[in-house]
Amino acid sequence: MMGDAEELSLKQILAEVFELDPSTIDNTTSIENVELWDSLQHFSMIVSVEQEFGVRFSEDEMGELVSYERLRSALAAKLKPTNGSPAKPDGQRVS
Amino acid sequence: MPAQVNVAIPGDAESLVAWVVDKPTLSRYLAAARRLRMVTPPDWPRIRVAVLRNFTVEPLDAYASVKGAAAGFAVDVRIGGYDTSMRDSLTAGSWLFEYQPDVVVIALSLENLAPTLFNRYLTLSRSQASEAAEQTVSSIRRIVAAINERTTATIAIHNFALPRNAPEGLAEATSMTSLTSRVRALNQELGAIASGMGNVFIVDFERIAERSPIDARNWLAARAPFTPAILEQLSDVYARILKARAGRSRKVLVLDCDGTLWGGVIGEDHIGGIRLGDSYPGIAYVGLQEAALNLSKRGVLLALCSANNEADVDEVFDHHPSMVLRKSDISAKRVNWTNKATNLRAIASDLNVGLDSLVFVDDDPHQCEMVRSLLPMVLVVQLPAELSELRAAIESLDCFDAVGVTDEDRRRVELYRNEQARQAAQESASTLDEYYRSLGMTAEVRRIDHISATRIAQLTQKTNQFNLTTRRYTTEELTQLARKPGVEILSIRVSDRFGDAGLVGVAIVVRGADAGEAEIDTFLLSCRVLGRGVEDVLLHATAIQAEALGYRRLHGTYAATARNQAVSTFYPDHGFSRQPGDDSGWSLMLGDSDPSVPAWFASVELPTNAQAGAAAG
């Protein structure tokens, strides 16, 4: 699950990688309208998110996470503990 | 959406570096590197770094800029095209030479440079494989030669990562002709290119990739293999190269003795009791000494800075069978009871180097913090608590890179050896006061009770250096003594912002030669807290307490032993004086000139009856 703190951290990462004001980042923020979001910075952004949250995106996900909205929901799914069984070690954020 | 300035990112170069050090994430490196371009002070030395590459090295440029800034360099990085390193270096008017680089990094992936060799190795005959390997080395040799022809740049060549898996399976490590062996041989040839020239370094990517594997997903998808861990290590190496080529390397390793060269305290444990030998734990200290000896063979000068009797330390150097370092390895030493900041100044002056050439190694956090705060230009290395990390603490120092043995260095050693008189620089008292004040020291003096008796007895048994009379007591003897009239047994506990040092000092007062005189039977302090005024507090408390018992005079003696010469003038130094007809000790009239408590103590607690008695009297 994504709490407010996680969401703020995610926005902060995008702000740092793409040189944005974090308060302007919302679901409409995407590769279409962010000047610095090119294929090179896309990798840096993905790796930064993985580094911050201790998660790993699959090869398929890599190419899809081209907007804040998609990134946020993919991350939320990884941070969500699986029902009834312990969360995967790489899927849970250590607080 | 237009790019906007993020308010959370610091606005000046030093804060930016601190911001990244605080949380060294890829996104912070990127943001800080961008901001650095705008705010780097114009007087910082500007270093142009050109990167020749055949794969995605980004965001290595951001890491290099930030690590460069941490070392005080304004690093500008320009990265060449993916497959143009040969053309760029062989063409006179290429961007590479227009740029006039100070440093050229050659970062080539073997997998991209010789894909058949790397990816289909077993399809090649031995001669084909040799030919491909030779071509690889010769193209790098040509690039280096071309850069050397047109520039005076420092060249940093990445060597190659070993194959991630073993094409020959179990035989990979056995076979002299396996791909792994082949890549190792290539890396040796790269080393041979570099070792022939003073301006060429090898960046040991083979070792880095062994420690921190590349990101296989990003390598496949974007030819971008570097993980944050790899980027950290590579940019660390670049920063070392920048410092080495700027002559910023340090020259002297200054070593503490007790707890550093050996375990234990020589003044207390004697030569047979210190930990130094061929098994645990003594072997850890042998390892540290070996690392220091290796450094000295690289031209680093070694010095000693220790709070000890010089004769004790000399004895270990001369007679301990497991000592690795010899006196002849030591170029300067200060073994005395002066504070270490003053001693470090003196060592720098002996060796004719600046304080910024010194690295100071000590196990004691207080000493380290004092040197850090008084002499910020000295690099302070506080030894880790784990003995298994001692050797690495010395071997991993990255500040000696450019040091070679020069004639000048050798002459310096001679100069020192012939030197008769030393001029020790005086540390200004006000600065030391400020330092002590910053420690927030508190002291608490208490009368003996059944809990403290055991520790007090232990201190009388094992304290040798700061011990005026060296009288040994058992717990039972102390308990009996405490019951006698006119006797007071005091102990002192101290703590500061680093923590609680515990019960560290003892004073025992008994009836003296006449009714009005209190004899100081015992006055001792653990060597852990020497030199911070704790003895002044204990003496103050002793005087107050003696007064409360009705005494008018304090009398103290010094009984010389082989270990306690540091305190031979303790009483005269504290306002006591010789009385006519008494050459056994020194006396102090109580009441008017009681020893005072140093102003830097944040709080001092005395036994309640002493305060009450003093107030009543």
Token digits of residue B567:
């305190």
- CATH superfamily of the domain spanning A4-91: ACP-like (1.10.1200.10)
Kindly report, residue by residue over B183-226, the tens digit of the pLDDT.
999 999 999 998 878 789 999 999 999 999 999 999 999 999 99
Q: CATH no. for residue B294?
A: 3.40.50.1000
Confirm whether B331 is domain-assigned. Answer: yes
Q: CATH no. for residue B32?
A: 3.40.50.1110
Instruction: Please give the full DSSP string across A46-94, using - where no structure is assigned.
Output: HHHHHHHHT----HHHHHH--BHHHHHHHHHHHHSPPTTSPPPGGGS--
What's the total number of domains in chain B?
3
Q: Which amino acid is at B608?
A: T
Contact B371, B344 (CB under 8 A): yes
The conformation of residue B275, written as its DSSP 8-state character, comes to: B
Kindly report, residue by residue over B10-51, the tens digit of the pLDDT.
989 999 999 999 999 999 999 999 999 999 999 999 999 999
Q: Do B6 and A43 touch (CB under 8 A)?
A: no
Name which residue leads in pLDDT, B255 or A88: B255
SS3 content of chain B, % helix, strand, coil (to 5): 45, 20, 35
Token digits of residue B292:
């220091």
Chain A residues close to B222, C-beta within 8 Å: 39-40, 43
Confirm whether B5 is domain-assigned. Answer: no
Confirm whether B6 is domain-assigned. Answer: no
Same domain, B331 and B464: no
Query: What's the rounded Cα separation, in Å, for the pair B358 and B219?
Result: 43
Q: CATH no. for residue B583?
A: 3.40.630.30
Chain B interface, best mutation among A16, A44, A45, A59, by max B CB count within 10 A: A16
Give me the residue from B28, B34, B224 closest to A43, CB to CB. B224
Average pLDDT over residues B562-579: 90
User: What pLDDT is stored for residue B113 in this prediction?
Assistant: 93
Percent of chain B topping pLDDT 90: 73
User: What pLDDT is stored for residue B591 in this prediction?
Assistant: 83
Average pLDDT, chain B: 89
Same domain, B228 and B290: no
Same domain, B241 and B277: no
Question: What's the pLDDT band for B617 if we cut at 50, 70, 90?
Answer: very low
Last residue of a domain, one of B395, B427, B459: B427
Same domain, B447 and B367: no
Same domain, B241 and B256: no
Chain B residues close to A47, C-beta within 8 Å: 26, 215, 218, 227-228
Confirm whether B3 is domain-assigned. Answer: no
Across B90-94, B429-433, B531-535, least confident range: B429-433
Same domain, B471 and B373: no
Same domain, B415 and B542: no
Average pLDDT over residues B367-382: 95
Instruction: Please give the full DSSP string across B221-253, using - where no structure is assigned.
Output: HHS----HHHHHHHHHHHHHHHHHHTT----EE
User: What pLDDT is stored for residue B524 in this prediction?
Assistant: 96
Kindly report, residue by residue over B290-335, the tens digit of the pLDDT.
999 999 988 899 999 999 999 999 999 999 999 999 999 999 999 9
Query: What's the rounded Cα separation, in Å, for the pair B238 and B49?
Result: 10
Q: Do A16 and B58 touch (CB under 8 A)?
A: no
Token digits of residue A24:
């302007």
> Which of B443, B559, B422, B545 shows the shortest CA–CA distance to B503?
B443
Same domain, B372 and B485: no
> Which of B590, B455, B604 shows the shortest CA–CA distance to B509?
B590
Confirm whether B395 is domain-assigned. Answer: yes
Confirm whether B134 is domain-assigned. Answer: yes
Chain A residues close to B30, C-beta within 8 Å: 16-17, 41, 44, 48
The conformation of residue B519, written as its DSSP 8-state character, comes to: E
Q: Do A35 and B2 touch (CB under 8 A)?
A: yes
Question: What's the pLDDT band for B402 if we cut at 50, 70, 90?
Answer: low
Token digits of residue B571:
């009483």
Last residue of a domain, one of B427, B453, B483: B427
For residue B384, say if its preceding peptide bond is cis, omega within 30 degrees of 0.
no
> Which of B18, B60, B24 shows the shortest CA–CA distance to B208?
B60
Whether the predicted pLDDT of B593 surpasses 60: yes
> Which of B350, B601, B615, B337 shows the shortest CA–CA distance to B493?
B601
Same domain, B71 and B134: yes
Confirm whether B92 is domain-assigned. Answer: yes
Highest mean pLDDT among B167-176, B200-209, B605-614: B200-209
Whether the predicted pLDDT of A1 surpasses 80: no
Across B239-248, B391-400, B526-535, least confident range: B526-535
Reported as half-sphere exposure (CB side, CA atoms, 13 A), residue B343 has a value of: 22
Question: What's the pLDDT band for B392 if we cut at 50, 70, 90?
Answer: very high
Which positions ≥6 away from B58 have C-beta within 8 Å?
A40, A44, B79, B224
Confirm whether B277 is domain-assigned. Answer: yes
Same domain, B495 and B395: no
User: What pLDDT is stored for residue A86 in this prediction?
Assistant: 45
Query: What backbone phi and psi angles, to 5 degrees, belong to B603?
Result: -155, 145
Contact B275, B264 (CB under 8 A): yes
Kindly report, residue by residue over A36-85, the tens digit of the pLDDT.
999 999 999 999 999 999 999 999 999 999 999 999 999 999 997 654 44
Q: Do B8 and A20 touch (CB under 8 A)?
A: no
Whether the predicted pLDDT of A88 surpasses 70: no
Query: What's the rounded Cα separation, in Å, for the pair B572 and B505?
Result: 20
Give me the residue from A20, A36, A48 closest to B26, CB to CB. A48
Query: What's the rounded Cα separation, in Å, for the pair B349 and B343?
Result: 10
User: B154 lies in which domain range?
Assistant: 13-245
Across A8-17, B49-58, B258-267, B582-591, least confident range: B582-591
Whether the predicted pLDDT of A92 surpasses 60: no
Question: What's the pLDDT band for A87 if we cut at 50, 70, 90?
Answer: very low
Whether the predicted pLDDT of B406 surpasses 60: no
Q: Do A47 and B31 touch (CB under 8 A)?
A: no
Last residue of a domain, one of B195, B213, B245: B245
Name which residue leads in pLDDT, B10 or B462: B10
Q: Do A19 and B6 touch (CB under 8 A)?
A: yes
The conformation of residue B274, written as its DSSP 8-state character, comes to: S
Question: What's the pLDDT band for B5 if we cut at 50, 70, 90?
Answer: very low
Whether the predicted pLDDT of B429 surpasses 70: no
Question: What's the pLDDT band for B419 if we cut at 50, 70, 90?
Answer: very low
Across A11-20, B8-17, B413-422, B501-510, least confident range: B413-422
Same domain, B24 and B112: yes
Q: Do A15 and B25 touch (CB under 8 A)?
A: no
Same domain, B488 and B388: no
